[in-house]
Structure 1
Amino acid sequence: MFESMRAYSCKCMVLNKILVGVLVVVGVTVSAAEATIYAPPSGDEAEWLFDPSKVVSISLNLSQASLDALAASDLDVREYVAATFSMDAETPTGMKTFGPWEIQAKIKGMWGSFRLLPAKSAFKLKFPNGSRINGLKKLTLNNMVQDPSKVHETVSYRLFREMGVPAPRTGYAELSINGEPYGLYLNVETLDDVMLSNWYGDDNTTHLYEGSYFGWYNNEFDPFDAGYEVDEGDDDNRSDLINLLELNESDSTTWFNNVKAKLDMQNVTRMWAVERYSGHWDGYSYSANNYYLHSDINGRFTMLPWGLDQTWGSWFEPSSPQGGTLFTKCMNVRPCRSRYVAALEQVRDAVLEMDLGTYARDLYASLRNYIVTDPKKEHSVEDADWWATYSADQIVSAGDRVSAWLAVEPIKPEINLSESQDTLQVTWTPLKYSSYPFEAPPDPVSKFTVFWRRVGSSIWRRRDIIDPSATTMALTAVRGGVEYEVKVAPMSGPREWSNSDVKVFTMGLPSQVLSLASSTLGSATSLRWQAPADLRGVAIGDVTYRIEMRRLSSIRWTPVFSGLIKIRSSGWYEKRVLLPRTDSAYEFRIRAEIVYGEGPWRTVRQ
């Protein structure tokens, strides 16, 4: 059984390299400025401690004074107390005993999981210099009292990591206190500077904020609210968080571009996708709880998950409007929503590739004897069996539910731009949904809207094509030599679906001066040229021409004419230009200026 679990681990690591090694997913191109690739740590000295296939033995000895102090703990006040720690574990070099060491311990947990001794308390353990397990400063022991199966956190954190979201590793431990067995605990990697260095690199953390309960009584827009607890960094200087929260208050037209400058959009959309996929109702995307915000030395934020003990028990529609404001705003801003949709599809495919449901069943089977003998368990073994089966089934069925949801969320079209017969030709991929077999998805797309504007303009022009099968449109109201931004949006009534990415195209400059020639007689030069038959729909004779001249020895052009020139009956234009001096040689240049822009210069010498 353990060998098969190790095989799952290898398979997941390979998958992770595939998932986080690319920035183009499901038609969504993510710029390097939007995302950083995070690879799960491996090969560090403490890696062996976070192996779910092994259960270590931890012993705590507490004096009466320490027991009395722990008994005074509550949801608001938890003080560290003196404790003696020892641990027996199978390490890469064989069985080893760590300790006994004098350390500090405190009770942890919130509503639902907080327990006082002699019940099954959860603990944080803090180690002094010189008494550490392979460099770890802290251990976090979760009591898992809200997870009868004991597999939820391990399975869920693994999925986050495989999606490139920084998340703790996990192992298991049996705990005894003053010689009394307390049963099975989850050893979840502590979110501290040691773990952050593994994910983000050394000295690349400005802050780690623990966010909690904004859906209940805290103010998500107050950077000094109690809901933002500083776990790493300067508690007084929160300028990075202030900046992010100010950007988050932008209106819907500017929110995405503003926020993505300081928030890794690939990271957060993947995190929210895993939260929703796993039914993490107590996370950021549903309850604005149980998450961390990490800022690097450039003030750029990522989000980390926490508190996954109640995953795989419920299902929530992937875009229901609960959750923190970053998530709810993302669901209403198409570029962000498109990334989230792409992330959901990635999660679904990753779960299938990892065979995560089978992994959960095998993990539970390896832990079941520890659950049976746990003297502090709060659920029966029958309950544990039922939840293990139910959770594994949820892992599998969640993929079908996501596919059903994706079936009515059109995949964004990919567009191409070209110039054809003096028009800007816009083509896009045919509209398609996910592969889920829906014959007639509700709220279908009824038309396409093509948006375009000059680069630098804030105003989009638009044209509709009332045909859900359309794949092309020709834009004629464009000017030569001008850069345009273009995007295409499937529409369902007034509702705009997943916009294509914006592409830029420069229209070609028309050649509006042909067969240019000159002849000089006395003090004047006659310039003669022919215009092309087709001036992009502009009638011949309605073209303004500009003429400039200079001496051959000069570098400066001097304007000599700008205005309308009527065509001669011969089909030629002609303009006489007086020469300043008859003893010098000159060159002339001419170009057309029409409503579509300026043509190229044509030059001729005297």
Structure 2
Amino acid sequence: MRWSRFATAAVPLFTAVSSACHDRPPPDEAPPALAAATSSAELFSLGVLPRFDLYLDEAAIAALHTEDESILKTWRPGTFRYQDLVWENVGVRLKGNLTLTTLADKPSFKIKFNRYVKGRRFLGLEGLTLNNMYSDPSMLREHLSYKVFRDLGLPASRTGFAELYVNDEPYGLYLNLETLDDEFLTFHFDDPTGNLYEGEHGDDLDGDIWSYEHDEGDDTSRDDLAALHELATDESFDLLYDPVTPLDTPRALDFVLAESFVGQFDGYSAAHNYFLYHEPARDKWTLLPWSLDQTLIRDTDPFGHDSYIGRTCRRRTDCLVDYVQRGLIASDLIAEMRLEDEIDRVLNLIEYAARHDPRKRHSNDAMASAQIKTVSWVAERPERFSGAIDCIVNGTEPDLDGDGFGSCFADCDDHNANIHPQAEEVCDGLDNDCSGFADDTPECPCPREEVLGRGFHFCLHEFTWTKARAFCQQQGLELARLDSRAQSDAVWAIARDLRTSSWAIGLNDRLQENDYRWIDQSVPSFFAWADGEPAHLLDWFDCVFYSGGSHATWRERNCGASAPFVCSDTR
């Protein structure tokens, strides 16, 4: 068993979290002051816990208390102080999508030293990204996940921690995350003059190039991105292994492995929250991670990465063998990282500041519980991951039923030659095509239940909201319309018994933000929003799903999110 130190029950795990470093002071005893950072390398280390001070005028303070996303994300001048050094007229704005909040709470910040004074730097950095760790009650996960990417040899942001004060008011502990900008590119690439794109709204190599955000680089034509897209969609070109491919395939496969290992479900695997850099001197494209704050929670399938690269690789035996071999190497490297020791070092630095953070979202008990879970997950994940990925025998994939597909990656029943990824669904209650769901084609109707005067069809196929809408229409139905709260409660009770997860329904505000309509454009007679919903700050979260909890509440999600769904009769 790898990392046996943590292969223990909850009480010893708590001991490991709270007192594994015997020289760490008790939580209620402030640690001794640390020396000031004199370089970015020291700033992004566990050797310092800097105090940053921001000073904003009354107009900026008022603006940052509004609920308008565009105002919150507008650059404003401020003053930054670290130790005895002061930078006046720096750019300050808030950041985040789902985690965006106002100055009345604990927002994340972006600080740009050269926003108003060209060429100015702080310890060699153009800017700072201070994350509020809103979605990470452990205050460990994001730091650890970036370390996994870096230690696998992938370019990824360096991380540290900092305490922030705004107009002398304490805002608590933040993750100090290296910003992806010119200085990052200079630090990580031999040629930093290329274009850096952000994948934010369902963007992938074979998708719409104009949905990418252009963040760095002088060439704004997107000609390089268009050329990559053309190759990705050209069936005659091998983007993965052609000798002249512009894709850095070894890095791309390692990136997919790293996302899979840490359980990143909101990054490139979801065509969201990642960056793409084109290095001109090598004419190579590299993926860069972002938004790793909800990692180290779930065990994602190393063969389930739902991206262009993941899907393309799964269809090819040569790539799958390459992927498995790289995955086994990555598993060994991650075990050698000894992430449990990194947890000790992090807690030794931040524990007092974390416990006394006056604005953190989670209680100290919730933080301690999340830390225990993180320690346990980190201890067990490498063995589970290597076990899931190690399915090559003597360099080849076994094919027991001789249908041309092996059970490692594609064949969900290697003892039945009629079941494989290229088989057709025949509506027999079996998953003939190994999609993960039985009878998931328009030719196979979903089970129907009559609920308070309307027929509802419960489809277990995990489709995007838009694909689910089309599926229902092909069946002569519509993505579910609910006429009353009682009907919604009853429909959810049936869906929940079939699968406890989010389920798509027909409500959306795609045509006009905050104007929710059913598929037939009728206005709902009631709403059943979960707490904090609908997420109006995300104007690209336009489609409504059952939340997936014990109650029949609704939440907004990206229309590209996949889930089972409910169709309804059109009457």
TM class by smaller structure: 0.5 to 0.7
Pick one of 198, 207, 211 that aligns with 2:195.
Answer: 207
Q: Out of 311, 329, 335, which is 1:352 matched to?
A: 335
- 1: CA distance between counterparts of 2:119 and 2:215? 23
Normalised to the residue count of structure 2, the TM-score between the two structures is 0.60
Structure 2 counterparts to residues 121-520 of structure 1, below 5 A = 121-127=107-113, 128-129=117-118, 131-201=120-190, 203-214=191-202, 221-225=207-211, 228-234=212-218, 236-251=220-235, 254-258=238-242, 261-285=245-269, 287-298=270-281, 299-320=283-304, 322-410=305-393, 412=395, 445=400
Instruction: Supply the RMSD in Å over aligned alpha carbons.
Output: 3.0
- Aligned match for 2:89, one of 93, 96, 102: 102
Q: Deviations over 1:233-272 (max 9, x none)?
A: 2463111111111111133884534597010011111111
Distance in 2 (CA, whole Å) between partners of 1:354 and 1:219 is: 32
Tell me if the contact between 2:328 and 2:390 (Cα under 8 Å) persists in the aligned partners: no
Contact residue 241 and residue 249 of structure 2 kept, 8 A: no
Corresponding residue for residue 546 of structure 2: none
Q: 1:259 to 1:80 in 2, by over 3 A?
A: farther
Deviations 1:92-132 (A, max 9, x none): xxxxx321533110001111x11111110111101134753
SS in structure 1 opposite 2:86? strand
Structure 1 residues 158 and 251: CA distance shift in structure 2, 3 A: same
Matched with 1:562 is: none
Structure 1 position 359, deviation (Å): 1.8
TM-superposed CA distance for 1:343, in Å, is 2.5
The 3-state SS of whatever aligns with 1:256 is: coil
Which AA in structure 1 matches 2:172? G
Q: Structure 1 residues 83 and 67 mapped into 2: Cα distance closer, same or farther (>3 Å)?
A: same
Tell me the secondary structure at the aligned position of residue 71 of structure 1.
Answer: coil
1:13 corresponds to: none
Percentage identity across paired residues of the two chains: 31
Listed one character per residue, the Cα deviations across residues 193-213 of structure 1 (whole Å, up to 9, x for unaligned) are 111011112x54320000123
Return the offset for 1:231: 0.5
Stretches of structure 1 lacking an aligned partner (at least 5 in a row): 6-42, 89-96, 414-430, 432-442, 450-490, 497-606
Q: Is the 8 A contact 1:70 1:81 kept in 2?
A: no
Shift in alpha-carbon separation, 1:52–1:315, aligned structure 2, 3 A: same
Q: Is the 8 A contact 1:256 1:333 kept in 2?
A: no
Kept after mapping to 2: 8 A contact 1:173/1:185: yes
Asked if 1 retains the 8 angstrom alpha-carbon contact of 2:205 and 2:308, the reply is: no
CA distance in structure 2 between the partners assigned to 1:173 and 1:255 by the alignment: 42
Once residues 147 and 270 of structure 1 are traced to their aligned partners in structure 2, the CA distance between those partners, rounded to angstroms, is 24
Gaps of 5+ in 2: 1-16, 22-36, 405-413, 422-571
Alpha carbons 1:361, 1:392 under 8 Å: kept: no
Superposition pairs of residues 539-554 of structure 1, within 5 angstroms: none
1:493 Cα deviation after fit: 8.1
For residues 337-358 of structure 1, the C-alpha deviation after alignment (integer angstroms, 9 at most, x for no partner) is: 2232223212211121111133
Do the aligned residues in 2 keep the contact of 1:248 with 1:326 (CA within 8 Å)?
no
Higher strand share: 1
- Partners in 1 of 2:415 and 2:58 — Cα distance? 69
Q: Read off the aligned partner of 1:139 and give its amino acid letter.
A: L
| Greater fraction of residues in helix | 2
Question: SS of the residue aligned with 1:147?
Answer: coil
Cα deviations by residue, 1:415-439 (Å, 9 ceiling, x for unpaired): xxxxxxxxxxxxxxxx8xxxxxxxx
Tell me, in whole angstroms, the C-alpha distance in 2 between the residues paired with 1:355 and 1:186.
21
CA contact (8 A) 1:60 1:177 kept: yes
Change over 3 Å in CA distance of 1:403–1:297 after alignment to 2: closer
Paired residue total: 372
Specify the code of the residue in structure 2 equivalent to 1:274. Answer: A
Question: Is 1:256–1:335's contact at 8 Å kept on the other side of the alignment?
Answer: no
Cα distance in 1 for residues equivalent to 2:77 and 2:315? 51
Determine which structure has more spread, i.e. the larger CA radius of gyration. 1
TM-score scaled by length of structure 1: 0.57
